[in-house]
Structure 1
Amino acid sequence: MTRTDPSDLLAVAARWADPAGWPVPLRFDRAERRYARLAAGAGHEVWALSWLPGQGTDLHDHGGSSGAFLVVAGTLTEETVSGGQLRPHRLVAGSGRRFGARHVHVVTNRDARPAVSVHVYRPALSRMTRYRLVAGQLLVAEVAEAGVAW
C-alpha cells in the first residue's frame, strides 16, 4: 500500500475504494440508503455509502467540515446551488469531488444500476444542516446532530 497525503481528502477516499478491504460488508437496502463509518483518525473520518437507483440525500451541508467523495461503482449526480438553482454534475465510477466547509449539495443515484461511494470529512462530522431551496434562497429545514440522527 502506498502512503496517502492526509491533507488530500480525495486521495484518502481513493485509498478506501476497494470494498474488499472494508471492516464492514457492503450492503444495499431498498428502503433507504446505507452508510457505515469505515475509519476515523488523523483528524478525519471515512464513510462508505451504497445507493440503489432513485436513492439520494436531501439538500445539506456538512456542519463546517471539509471533505471529498469518490464514486467507487455506478454513477451519482451531485447538484450544487448556483444562481439560486440546483445545477447537476454527473460523476461516474473513478471520479470524485473535493469540497470546502461551506459546501451545500444533493447527491442522488439517477442511474439504473446501484452505486457505491466513499466520503471523507475533516474534522469528523458533528452536525449536518438540511435546507430547502425556495425562490432561489437556501432556508434551513433542520440541523441534525451526530449520535442522534446518524
Structure 2
Amino acid sequence: MNSDVQIAGDPLAIPHLLPPVPAHPATVAGFAGLARAIAADRASWAPLVRYDATTRWYHRLRAVPQAPGATSAAPVGYEVWLLSWVPGQGSGRHDHGRSSGVLTVLEGELTEHAADGPRTLTAGAQRVFAPGYVHEVVNDSLKPAVSLHVYFPGLTDMPMHPSQAAAPGVVAAPPEVLAP
C-alpha cells in the first residue's frame, strides 16, 4: 500500500510547498515567535557578536519597513538588534518611546530592573514590553551575555530616565509617592 508521502514525496522537503514565513508579524506572539526563531538560528548571529569593555556593543540584524501600501491596521515595521554585555555593563534606565519590544536572552544572564523589582533573565528568557515601559538591563554576572531585541515599530527614540537609586544612607521614596 502506498502512502501520500511515498507517492508525492515529503512536503516538508519541498520548500515551495511550505507556508511562507510572514515578513510582518501581526501580533505580540508573532514578534516573540520571530525572536525565538532568530535565537534558534545561532549560525546567523553568533559570528557577529563582539564584546567591548568600553561601551555596549550592538548590531542591527534586520530592519523591515511597514508593508508597502499598509494601512494603520496592517502590521508595523520592525527592527531586530543583537547586543552584547560584558560583566558590569548596563543600559541605564530608559523606555523605548512609541515602540513595543521583545527582549530575548541568547547567552549568559541579565538582570532587568523595573518598577516591580529586579528580575534575573537567563538564556532563553523573554520579556515583552509596551511603549513607555521603563526599565534598566544590567549584566550583574561574571560572564558575558548576549541578547536579542525586537522593536515594533522600529526604534526611533530611547528616552533616558533618572536613576531611582538613592545615595548611601538616603531612603528613596516609593515611585507612587514621587509621581505627580
TM above 0.5: yes
Counterpart residue number, 2:103? 69
Q: What is the RMSD computed on CA atoms of the aligned residues?
A: 2.3
- Tell which has more relative contact order, 1 or 2 (C-alpha 8 A, sep 6+): 1
- Of the three residues 32, 39, 47, the one matched with 2:62 is 39
Summarize deviations over 1:44-95 as a string: whole Å, max 9, x none: 100000000000111000011001010000000001124xxxx100000011
Q: Which amino acid aligns with 1:15?
A: A
Q: Secondary structure at the match of 2:124?
A: coil
- In the TM superposition, what are the counterparts of 1:113-132 in structure 2 within 5 Å? 113-132=143-162
Q: CA deviation at 1:22?
A: 3.2
The DSSP-based 3-state class of the residue aligned with 1:32 is: coil
Aligned to 1:141: none
Which is strand-richer, 1 or 2? 1
Q: Greater helix share, 1 or 2?
A: 2
1:13 partnered with 2:35? yes
Q: TM-score, normalised by structure 1?
A: 0.80
Q: CA deviation at 1:23?
A: 9.6
68-77 vs 11-20, greater mean Cα deviation: 11-20
Specify the alignment match of 2:45 in structure 1. 22
- Which structure has the larger Rg? 2
Distance in structure 2 (CA, Å) of the matches to 1:60 and 1:19: 28
Distance in 2 between residues matched to 1:47 and 1:91, nearest whole Å: 18
1:82-97 alignment, distance < 5 Å:
82=116, 87-97=117-127
Partner Cα distance (2:95, 2:84) in 1: 19
Deviation at 1:19, TM superposition (A): 4.2
Task: Give the whole-Å Cα distance in 1 for the aligned partners of 2:111 and 2:135.
Answer: 10
> Matches of 2:129 and 2:160 in 1, distance apart?
17
With the length of structure 2 as denominator, give the TM-score of the two structures: 0.68
Aligned: 1:106 with 2:106: no
Is 1:51 paired with 2:95?
Answer: no
Q: Unaligned regions of 5+ residues in structure 2, if any?
A: 1-17, 67-76, 165-172
CA distance in 1: counterparts of 2:32 and 2:55, whole angstroms: 25
- Give the letter for the 2:53 counterpart: R
Structure 1 vs Structure 2: percent identity of aligned residues? 43
- Any gaps of 5 or more consecutive residues in structure 1? 139-150
CA shift in 2, pair 1:23/1:113, >3 Å: closer
